[in-house]
Structure 1
């Protein structure tokens, strides 16, 4: 199963919107998404604070910044899976 992270923080309405897009776009039986609250990690804050929500693949270090559509998510997934 592919593991992705949604870089976010509490109270981020755009992160809620991103989650809705991801739920429509990703096959739940093939992709696991972990919410990562960047507020608790200074390095993540430095990297993502002005960009969240960000869909991130830790195994390839690829990122998809908001705003993204279902089509963008599919293209991102294809890119991640092709390595």
Structure 2
């Protein structure tokens, strides 16, 4: 499964979300990490919401805060 992780520089919550993604068992995940500071549009969309995980398959989003269980359900 391909997902996008919208993040920002020096974002501890984003690091936590990335760690959670890497800890997923039995799910093949390809992660594209995008720094929202590289785009004015993305900064306006996600600046107050990061980290946000977006599925490429249907564009569904999971925004912080989320639990490991919520992430598991989102990726299933």
- Partner SS for 1:56: strand
- Partner SS for 1:67: coil
- Per the normalisation by structure 2, the TM-score is 0.88
The number of residues matched between the two structures is 76
Over the residues paired in the alignment, what is the CA RMSD in angstroms?
A: 1.5
- Per the normalisation by structure 1, the TM-score is 0.81
Structure 1 residue 23: Cα displacement: 1.3
Q: CA 1:17–1:25 in structure 2 vs 1: closer, same or farther (change >3 Å)?
A: same
Question: If each structure's helix is expressed as a fraction of its own residues, which one has the higher value?
Answer: 1
Question: Which residue of 33, 36, 39 maps to 2:34?
Answer: 36
Distance 1:45 1:22 in 2: 22
Structure 1 residue 20: Cα displacement: 1.3
Structure 1 residue 24: Cα displacement: 1.2
Q: Structure 1: give runs of 5+ residues left out of the alignment.
A: 79-83
Structure 1 residue 27: Cα displacement: 4.3
Q: Spell out structure 1 runs of 4+ moving beyond 4 A.
A: none
